[in-house]
Amino acid sequence: MTKNEFMIKLQEALENDLDASAVRDNVNYYSNYIDDEIRKGRSEEEVLDELGDPWVIAQSVIDMSAQKNVTEDYGGSYRSAGRSSERQESSYNVHGYTIGSWWQKLLLILGIIGIVLIVVAVIGGIISLVMPIVIPVLVVILLVNFIRRLKE
């Protein structure tokens, strides 16, 4: 199958269920993808084999569109969030916040360490304030108990 045949089949499959702009966006996206891969030195046949059947791709796009689970790419074309061929930097999702770059991870770790140090400092401060009172009270209680035992 050639690129033109692939694009015609993809367009025909998408036209049944999507509006014209969504069809155009998806056809442009896959056309650009194929062109980019060919420029990287891959053969047209190899790229088309990797993509697979255009009807399956169209069905995936239509399903994603129906579920409102399609994200807009920076070029204005639509694609499923999980179908990106580029490598994406690993990221972690912590209570709704995405932590992806190294400095964000470092900032999170330093923030946690800072909170732990503040808690330790507060507890240490409370202990240092209370100990001058608690130690003499404990000494007095121990002396009173010792004196009571001696009297018995």
The answer on pLDDT for 87 being more than 70 is no
**8 Å CB contact between 27 and 10:** yes
pLDDT tens string 112-149:
999 999 999 999 999 999 999 999 999 999 999 999 99
- Residues near 111 by Cβ (< 8 Å), separated by ≥ 6? none
pLDDT tens profile 38-75:
999 999 999 899 988 988 888 888 888 877 544 444 44
Q: How many CA atoms lie within 13 A of 106 on its CB side?
A: 3
- Can you tell me the mean pLDDT for 92-121? 81
Using a cut of 0.85, tell me whether the model's pTM lies above it. Answer: no
Task: State how far the Cα of 86 lies from the Cα of 152, in Å rounded to an integer.
Answer: 86
Specify the pLDDT at position 79. 47
Lowest-pLDDT choice from 10-14, 36-40, 102-106, 116-120:
102-106
Cα 4 from chain centre: 36
Between 10-19, 30-39, 81-90, 120-129, the lowest mean confidence (pLDDT) is in: 81-90
Residues forming beta bridges with residue 139, ordered by sequence position: none
